[in-house]
Structure 1
């Protein structure tokens, strides 16, 4: 960050301002609106009955494994409704079952491709509920990039069990794993 960004603000205030900008911006709003609009057709095309419950992540995992063959295939199909709505669905399950919220960088950095993708994170108001076990980072809130979650399914060798996506939900509880 430039010195201007920090001018007169402490680290907490800067983090809160950045979190707010990532929570409310046209890029995120457009992406969410697009995926919500696609969901009904996506759901019908993939068997219907998608209820945003934890166990539905097992079904989503099977769907991705059935239709996407590799990490390269996932990146090649990243902009398709199959992948984008699947990412939205993963995030929505986190939001609805663990109280996370969507975020997206309003001005992604070309040097950091993940900054262009949406993610879910625990709300800033719950910042102090999570501590970095090493005491280095004051913001240890768990966050997940749904595309990264799907990538993990395809990188695992042998393939992860049917609860791979679901196991990420454990990160939000006491003693949860570090953010991914």
Structure 2
């Protein structure tokens, strides 16, 4: 991330977090990635059985699709930039957006030393920042976020014995709460 985002000594933590969120929400990298996945979706959907409706139950179907086509964590990383995996990531994020009100984000200037900064993710809108608190009180921005690729990694690490609904279970992370867990 470029230094100009952090070089504002007179601003508080909230202003810095808001500026970072805006930069991650509106940038050419994210716009290009989203456009590419939207453009691929109809063909991807036909190739994988059609009827992908962005309903949260479709995440169980996505889970089965990933388990069927990806054999291991290493295989996922080898295939990460293929249309199959990228469009699947987009689809999972879109289900989060459409059912839980999250929004896409991507670092406009990712760090080579931090590979996850190069990948898109979904997060609760900044306007809802105050609904989420870090139980330890360390993190100012405790909004839940999900990298769909990371979700696929978790599936592959769990193995098929974990049963369906792992992807769908992530949707529960967006329930706001306070330090008391309510």
C-alpha RMSD of matched pairs (Å): 1.6
Deviations 1:92-124 (A, max 9, x none): 000000000000000000010000000000000
Correspondences of 1:11-160 after superposition (within 5 Å): 11-157=13-159, 159-160=161-162
Aligned counterpart for 2:175 among listed residues 155, 164, 173 = 173
Cα distance between partner residues in 1 of 2:160 and 2:68:
15
Quote how far apart the aligned CAs of 1:139 are. 0.9
Contact 2:131 2:177 in 1 (8 A): no
Count the aligned residue pairs.
176
| TM-score normalised to structure 2 length | 0.93
- Is the CA contact 2:80–2:86 (under 8 Å) kept in the aligned structure 1? yes
2 CA distance for matches of 1:72 and 1:116?
A: 18
Alpha-carbon distance in 2 for matches of 1:80, 1:94: 22
Whole-Å separation in 1 of the counterparts to 2:54 and 2:160: 27
Equivalent residues of 1:5, 1:14 under 8 A apart = no
- Give the TM-score of the pair, scaled to structure 1: 0.94
Structure 2 SS opposite 1:57: helix
Partner of 2:165: 163
Gaps of at least 5 residues in structure 1 are none
The runs of at least 4 aligned residues of structure 1 exceeding 4 Å deviation read: 1-4
User: Where does the alignment leave 5 or more consecutive residues of structure 2 unmatched?
Assistant: none
> How much does 1:159 deviate?
3.6
Distance 1:2 1:166 in 2: 37
Q: Return the offset for 1:150.
A: 0.5
CA distance in 2, matches of 1:87, 1:65: 14
Distance, in Å, in 2 between the alignment partners of 1:20 and 1:93 is 22
